[in-house]
Amino acid sequence: MTIVPDRSLPRSWQSRSMPSLLSLFLLLLLAITFCGGNANSSGARLVVEVHNWSDGPIQINWINPSTREASYLSDVDEDTYYEINTFAGHEFELREMPDEDTGACGSDDDETCHIAYLTVSDEEEQQYRVLSKMVVTLHEKYDPYEWLDDEDEDVNGWKEMESPSLEDCRNLLQERLQLAKEKTANSAEADESAQYPRLEAFDAYYACLEAFAAPSLDVIKNEIEFEREIRTKISGRMETITCRDDTVQSSPDVHVRTWNGSADGVERTIHVKLDRPASRIHVIENFVSQEECDDMEEDAMPTMGAAFVSDGSGGIEASAARKARQGGIDPEFEEDHDEELSARVAQRVYAYASHVLNKTITYEGQEQLVSIQYAGRGYDDVEPDQYKAHCDGACDGERYSWGTRAATMLMYCTIPEHGGHTNFQNANVHVKPERGAAVFFSYINTETDMMDKGLTQHSGCPTFEGEKKIVTQWIRLGVTEDEPWTRLNTLGVRRSDSYD
């Protein structure tokens, strides 16, 4: 399954993405469901196009015929289309996505986020167009090459060249444009079909340029990946040494600045340790008071229990990779800001995240604050309390998926006598905890919506002596009161509407 540029616009204007493992898994699931007898009797695989001609991005979900649960397939930007490999009888849910800043949908006074459904028929060629307010229409697929006669050379003639040069690509473009001009000489300029030959000429040109650049880019890509693997292996070995050495101090700052955007009006010093578009690590002095820490610890006590991790299938499980105790904190937010201490802390977190990510981020739909406690039992403990290297959100360099984690605020309330540091091994950033300080790290480039590629992978070093108590707030984008984080499982897949 891939997102393909809609041919109503030049490819250079379109967004493109590679298929995710999740999409491939869902494709397998579609096939399994078909084999179980939920598709048409012919059993033919169909490729259905869903063109987004609406006023904004949409989300496509597959409806499981047995459970009626909606499983996420992909987001589709405006003026692009999505190809689904499927079977007749399968049903899909199309959701209009809200604006991340306003939470509203559409471009007029109607801000409702509309939902539509389509059921795949047994026709071989199906093209669905999603118009404003999620009106879905069915059309015949258009063959973009039908303007070429049989005697015309192959539209992808550049593929016959072993390694096209830049001049080859330019000549190809001129030939294609001339051929398009001849073939559409008698077509009205306003006729949409008359635009396709010219667009296809540019498509062939862009494809030729890709073939021209591919060998050089492959060499560079392979070299970067090789060096990255070496660096990752070395950093993993070094972490064990770093975590056991209490004399190691926090990594040097890239630069230092101040921030006073909190409701309490306090100006705080920010130590920037890493400053990349998709990977930021900041240490904030005096972010949380002892009074606030004590209050949050008390609120978390009733739910304090063993900490869990994602089980890889959408749920949670206990793991040796994370040995600690944790409890949830549910702040009560008030309109007049006469709030309890935990709510003030949460508001401070969202204010700072909004400042750094240049987004309007509020508490609606977010995860609760979590108090996490680690106990030291000496350097000889074979299974010390710790959280081994992990990423809080996706760190694979792929596009951000709605509603998943984008940033983390980790607040130090109680500092152990030995151990308990925070280590970002791939970024060569080490943070020695200080009482009241906080570490903020984000793993998304909000300009491109692309995720970090492993620089924010981190670990909570083993706690050897004393106690380490922290409070963590994971921050998500796009969630609202009506669409909270609980709509997703731990894989970031949307649960069904019937999920309670």
Measured between alpha carbons, how far is 479 from 104 in angstroms, rounded to an integer?
Answer: 12
Residue position matching structure tokens 């309890």: 340
Q: Rounded to the nearest 5 degrees, what angle is found at the Cα of 108, between the Cα atoms of 361 and 135?
A: 100
Confidence of residue 41 (pLDDT cuts 50, 70, 90): very low
pLDDT at 162: 63
Percentage of residues of the chain with pLDDT beyond 90: 43
Q: Mean per-residue pLDDT for 200-210? A: 79
Which position has the higher pLDDT, 84 or 415?
415
* Structure confidence by residue, pLDDT tens digits, 373-391: 999 999 999 999 999 999 9
All residues at 6 or more sequence positions from 46 whose CB lies less than 8 Å from its CB, including other chains: 85, 86, 87, 88, 120, 122, 124, 126
Which position has the higher pLDDT, 236 or 249?
249
Confidence of residue 43 (pLDDT cuts 50, 70, 90): low
Identity at 197, one-letter amino acid code = P
The sheet with strand 422-424 has its strands ordered as 322-323, 386-390, 458-460, 422-424, 429-431
CA 283, 284, 285, 287 torsion-angle sign:
negative
The sheet with strand 305-306 has its strands ordered as 255-259, 268-276, 279-284, 438-442, 405-414, 467-476, 369-375, 325-329, 305-306
Q: Mean per-residue pLDDT for 55-68? A: 87
Distances (CA, A) of 318 to 99, 341, 441, 464: 36, 30, 25, 21
Burial class (CB in 10 A: 0-12, 13-18, 19+), 231: middle
Percentage of residues of the chain with pLDDT beyond 70: 80
Segment among 95-109, 147-161, 204-218, 254-268 with least mean pLDDT:
147-161
Partnered with residue 317 across adjacent β-strands are 309
pLDDT at 6: 39
Residue 77 has a CB neighbour count (10 Å cut-off) of 19
Domains of the chain, first to last: 2-139 (2.60.40.780), 167-244 (no CATH), 253-487 (2.60.120.620)
Which position has the higher pLDDT, 478 or 44?
478
* Structure confidence by residue, pLDDT tens digits, 289-319: 999 999 999 999 999 999 887 767 767 777 8
Q: Is the pTM of this model over 0.85?
A: no
Confidence of residue 144 (pLDDT cuts 50, 70, 90): very low
Decide if pLDDT at 28 tops 60.
no
pLDDT at 160: 54
Decide if pLDDT at 18 tops 60.
no
Residue position matching structure tokens 């591919």: 214
DSSP-derived secondary structure for 6-41:
-TTS-GGGS--BPPPHHHHHHHHHHHHHIIIIIS-T
